[in-house]
Amino acid sequence: MIAAQHHLFENDRRLVLEEAIELTVQSLQAYGPTHEHWGIAYSGGKDSSATLTLIMWLIETGRVAKPKTLSVFYADTRMELLPLAIAADLILAKLRTMGIAVHVVRAPMDKRFLVYILGRGVPPPNNNTLRWCTRQIKIDPMQAALEHELDGIDGQILMITGVRQGESAVRDRRIEMSCGKDGAECGQGWYQKVLPEATGLRGRLATLAPILHWRVCHVWDWLNFYAPNAQYGGWATRTIAAAYGGDEAEEINARTGCVGCPLAQKDNALDAIVAQPDWAYLAPLKGIRPIYRHLREPANRLRKPGREALKGGGFSKNPQRMGPLTFAARLDALDHILAIQGACNEAAIRLGRPLVDMLNSEEEARIRELITAKTWPERWDGTEPIGDAVLDTVYRDGSVQPQLFSAEDL
Ligand code: SF4
């Protein structure tokens, strides 16, 4: 009886996935033929992996007509979780053997996540005030690669993304393009919304989200049972589902992408990865998020002493704002991150497992070079006080409340 019920459940689930795929096919058939050139924005996360492998299968089996050109753009942030990065490499390698043009896009050296933080001194991003990372390490490099691609072709590119909102949201027309909501991937809404509006791409880029209506269980089923099967292409997608905690993760807010993402509430993906015996040696990476948190503390940063005059006249709205990271904090964090990477890699060598490559020697050298050159972000020069120094309070209108106690009294 239980087996029969289970079978029924499996059948239902398969049917639901097949219906979802059918809608995907319809959207591709409706919008695909009007564009000769397609691009797929691939982040290595679950939704874009499902989209990419599904489209390849649909094209291979003739259910969707192959466009004149098809290019895959993979945003390599250098901060990807290792099993996801390996799965992405395997998928990209397979695409190349199929004759698909693959572009791996990366931020230029000084804009990479760790170089920007530790070399230039910009604090790690957070949800409130400073959300620079997605644009800088994912969207801008993607935009540059697309502009380059467009130079070589006539007409528009249809950019296919893995944006997913789930069935009910689509039905209710509650299309919310933010990232990291209801299990959406970091960057996905931006790909859909920001890319087509970007100056160099305006009018030449259309976006399509063919799995917009998929629920997360469809994604798991596709990645776990369908895509890895030779009949559906034999893709290396099982690792990706496992990295998110698999089926059990359901619609959790899995902002999977960067190791220790400072914007995620919890390290869900990393926890799911290190819980697997093969990846347990990556446990030291759990130390990365606390480093980002520590760096944001006032003692590790500079602060404007008072009102800040703006170039075009007037003053900044935020007097005495907290700013960049001190050199001591940057060097200390660099040592800690290298030690964490070193601990993972010692174990990796011992166990014959893949190495972590979050910070290579070139990036480390560049960080040290920028620190030696006393590099600060714009509008800072290093003469500002440390963030936890006791200062008179300066208000927006320029009035000053002198401190009630001197530093010695405290
Ligand atoms: S995963 Fe986190 S750290 Fe990485 S780009 Fe997205 S929000 Fe930023």
- In the chain, the largest separation of any two C-alpha atoms, in whole Å, equals 78
pTM greater than 0.85 (yes/no):
yes
DSSP 122-140: PPPP-SSS---HIIIIIIH
Residue 117 in contact with residue 325, Cβ under 8 Å? yes
- Mean pLDDT within 6-25: 75
Residue 165 in contact with residue 45, Cβ under 8 Å? no
Q: Which residues contact 9 (CB under 8 A, 6 or more apart)?
A: none
Is 268's C-beta closer than 6 angstroms to any atom of ligand 1?
Answer: no
Q: What is the 3-state secondary structure (H, E, C) of the chain?
A: CHHHHHHHHHHHHHHHHHHHHHHHHHHHHHHHHHCCEEEEEECCCHHHHHHHHHHHHHHHCCCCCCCCEEEEEEECCCCECHHHHHHHHHHHHHHHHCCCEEEEECCCHHHCHHHHHHHHCCCCCCCCCCCCHHHHHHHHHHHHHHHHHHHCCCCCEEEECCCCCCHHHHHCCCCCCCCCCCCCCCCHHHHHHHHHHCHHHCCCEEEECCCCCCCHHHHHHHHHHHCCCHHHCCCCCHHHHHHCCHHHHCCCCCCCCECCCCCCCCCHHHHHHHCCHHHHHHHHHHHHHHHHHHHCCHHHEEECCCCCECCCCCECCCCCCEEEECHHHHHHHHHHHHHHHHHHHHHHHHHCCCCCCCCCHHHHHHHHHHHHCCCCCCCCCCCCCECCCCCCEECCCCCEECCCCCHHHC
Is 141's C-beta closer than 6 angstroms to any atom of ligand 1?
Answer: no
Q: State the pLDDT at residue 8.
A: 47
Is 20's C-beta closer than 6 angstroms to any atom of ligand 1?
Answer: no
Match 């564009």 to its residue by tokens.
35
**For residue 407, how far is its CA from the centre of ligand 1 (angstroms)?**
38
**For residue 388, how far is its CA from the centre of ligand 1 (angstroms)?**
27
Q: Which atom in ligand 1 lies closest to the alpha carbon of residue 255?
A: 1
List pLDDT tens digits, range 38-53.
999 998 988 999 999 9
Across the chain, mean pLDDT equals: 86
Q: Which atom in ligand 1 lies closest to the alpha carbon of residue 257?
A: 1
Please list the alpha-helical segments (H only) found in 32-161.
Answer: 46-60, 82-97, 113-114, 133, 140-151
Q: Which atom in ligand 1 lies closest to the alpha carbon of residue 113?
A: 3
**For residue 186, how far is its CA from the centre of ligand 1 (angstroms)?**
6
Q: State the pLDDT at residue 173.
A: 56
Compute CA distances 220 → 38, 49, 399, whole Å.
25, 11, 58
**For residue 371, how far is its CA from the centre of ligand 1 (angstroms)?**
24
Percent pLDDT > 90 in the chain is 56
Confidence of residue 193 (pLDDT cuts 50, 70, 90): confident
**For residue 258, how far is its CA from the centre of ligand 1 (angstroms)?**
5
Residue 237 predicted with pLDDT over 50: yes
Instruction: Look at ligand 1, atom 4, and give the residue with the nearest C-alpha.
Output: 258
Is 137's C-beta closer than 6 angstroms to any atom of ligand 1?
Answer: yes
Is 256's C-beta closer than 6 angstroms to any atom of ligand 1?
Answer: no
**Which one of 117, 132, 134, 191 would you pick to mutate in the ligand 1 pocket, going by the greatest count of ligand atoms within 8 A of its CB?**
134
Instruction: Look at ligand 1, atom 6, and give the residue with the nearest C-alpha.
Output: 186
Residue 180 predicted with pLDDT over 70: no
Q: Which atom in ligand 1 lies closest to the alpha carbon of residue 187?
A: 6
Is 258's C-beta closer than 6 angstroms to any atom of ligand 1?
Answer: yes
Is 186's C-beta closer than 6 angstroms to any atom of ligand 1?
Answer: yes
Q: State the pLDDT at residue 409.
A: 53
**For residue 235, how far is its CA from the centre of ligand 1 (angstroms)?**
25
The mean-pLDDT minimum among 6-10, 77-81, 104-108, 263-267 falls in: 6-10
| Full set of structural domains in the chain with CATH | 2-259 (3.40.50.620)
Is 257's C-beta closer than 6 angstroms to any atom of ligand 1?
Answer: yes
Residue 75 phi, psi (nearest 5): -85, 105
70 against 246, higher pLDDT: 70
**For residue 42, how far is its CA from the centre of ligand 1 (angstroms)?**
15
Instruction: Look at ligand 1, atom 2, and give the residue with the nearest C-alpha.
Output: 261
Instruction: Look at ligand 1, atom 3, and give the residue with the nearest C-alpha.
Output: 261
Residue 185 predicted with pLDDT over 90: no
Q: State the pLDDT at residue 308.
A: 73
Q: How far is CA 104 from the centre of its chain?
A: 14
Q: State the pLDDT at residue 215.
A: 85
Residue 330 phi, psi (nearest 5): -65, -45
List pLDDT tens digits, range 194-230.
777 777 787 888 889 999 889 888 898 999 999 999 9
Q: Which atom in ligand 1 lies closest to the alpha carbon of residue 138?
A: 5
Residue 7 predicted with pLDDT over 60: no
Instruction: Look at ligand 1, atom 5, and give the residue with the nearest C-alpha.
Output: 134
Instruction: Please give the helix or strand (H or E) that residue 384 lies within, else none.
Output: none
Q: Which atom in ligand 1 lies closest to the alpha carbon of residue 137?
A: 5
Residue 65 predicted with pLDDT over 90: yes
**For residue 264, how far is its CA from the centre of ligand 1 (angstroms)?**
8
103 against 205, higher pLDDT: 103
Is 124's C-beta closer than 6 angstroms to any atom of ligand 1?
Answer: no
Q: State the pLDDT at residue 116.
A: 98
**For residue 257, how far is its CA from the centre of ligand 1 (angstroms)?**
6
Residue 61 phi, psi (nearest 5): -90, 0
Terminal C-alpha separation, the chain: 73
Instruction: Please give the helix or strand (H or E) that residue 34 lies within, else none.
Output: none
- For residue 7, give the 3-state DSSP assignment: helix
Q: State the pLDDT at residue 2.
A: 46
Q: How far is residue 122's CA from residue 141's CA, in Å, rounded to a whole number? A: 19
- Mean pLDDT within 3-18: 62
Q: State the pLDDT at residue 253.
A: 44
